[in-house]
Amino acid sequence: MFQVCDASESLSSRGLSTAIAERKIGVAGMHPAALPDDELIRACEFRRQRRSGPGGQHRNKVETAVFIRHLPTGVEASATERRSQEQNRQQALFRLRIRLALEIRQLSDEPWSPSSTWQSRNVSGRLAINPQHEDFPTVLAEAMDVVHNEDYDVKKAAARLSSTSSQIVKLLHNQPEALRLVNEARKERAMRALQ
């Protein structure tokens, strides 16, 4: 089961625990941020258009801006900064995975163990991942899910992930919006903010 924040509200204006609606999505328990490209693309609507801005005389001659909407959740992302439509599509897809990691929570009543992606990135309790790496959204989604399922107790979440609290906080610092969301939920629970 997944939870998705109400898409009609902006992520920055919604309370994490108060504005969440339940909806089943994904493939056999796989978080949408972790789906293979072809499966994620099939679940999305793409829109291309021309964009103004820097880029010289060639900027507005072709539709290079890419907007993606994940249909099951309504989560959206875009990329307009490149002059290549393919580069913008790849960047928008990566940004969509990050938005999905931030906005979608996977709930589980069944026994849970870290995914193979998490295990490959978690060496001796230390996370080794660059925020620009293609695995980052998957790892971030898994951390956010476990932190959420442990009621924002990072120490318990770290134990479930075979990691340390400092590694989880470091991961969240790599995506400031994730840290803000976790701290917002911790504040609602009268817990101190993560630094």
pLDDT of residue 52: 61
CB–CB of 34/98 below 8 Å? no
Q: Per-residue pLDDT for the chain (195 aa), expressed as one digit of tens each?
A: 445 543 333 343 333 332 333 333 434 468 999 999 999 999 999 998 876 655 555 555 667 889 999 999 999 999 988 888 899 999 999 999 999 999 999 887 676 788 899 999 998 878 999 999 999 999 999 999 999 999 999 999 999 999 999 999 999 999 999 999 999 999 999 999 998
pLDDT of residue 183: 96
* Other C-beta atoms lying within 10 Å of the C-beta of residue 79: 22
Q: Which two tokens stand for residue 42?
A: 């099939």
Q: Show the CA angle centred on residue 194, arms to residues 190 and 195, nearest 5°.
A: 140
pTM of the model: 0.82
β-strand partners of 21: 4
Q: How far is CA 117 from CA 128, 139, 141, in A?
A: 11, 7, 11
pLDDT of residue 13: 39
pLDDT of residue 118: 93
Q: Residue 156: helix, strand or coil by DSSP? A: helix
pLDDT of residue 26: 39
Q: Which two tokens stand for residue 65?
A: 């801006």
